Amino acid sequence: MENKRLKQKIATCLINEDLNFFEEFAEKGWFSAGIRLTRQQVIQGLVNFMLEMLAPGETTLSKQELKRRILKKIREVSYNERSS
């Protein structure tokens, strides 16, 4: 059986301030790293990152636990980049 990537559609309700944040984030990626990202790709990356933070079957986390997991992941990524 072929391994197919799971695709889901996510609807978001964003105000102009939120949209501006994602636009600026994408622009910074373009100017600093030469990587062109769309707003959709930025949001998709954030959703995928958050899904990695949850253990299988887990649906919610406390703010403190979420922060701890995010910081741990950032440290791991930072360490891996320095090691490479």
Nearest Cα to Cα of residue 46 among 3, 12, 81, 80: 12
Q: Is residue 42 part of a domain?
A: yes
pLDDT at residue 3 tops 60: no
User: What is the count of structural domains for the chain?
Assistant: 1
Q: pLDDT band for 2, please (50, 70, 90 cuts).
A: very low
User: What would the pLDDT profile of 19-36 be if each residue is shown by its tens digit?
Assistant: 888 888 888 877 877 878
Q: Is residue 59 part of a domain?
A: yes
Q: Which residue range(s) make up the domain with 27?
A: 16-83
Q: Is residue 10 part of a domain?
A: no
Listed ranges 6-10, 49-53, 55-59; the one with the highest mean pLDDT = 49-53
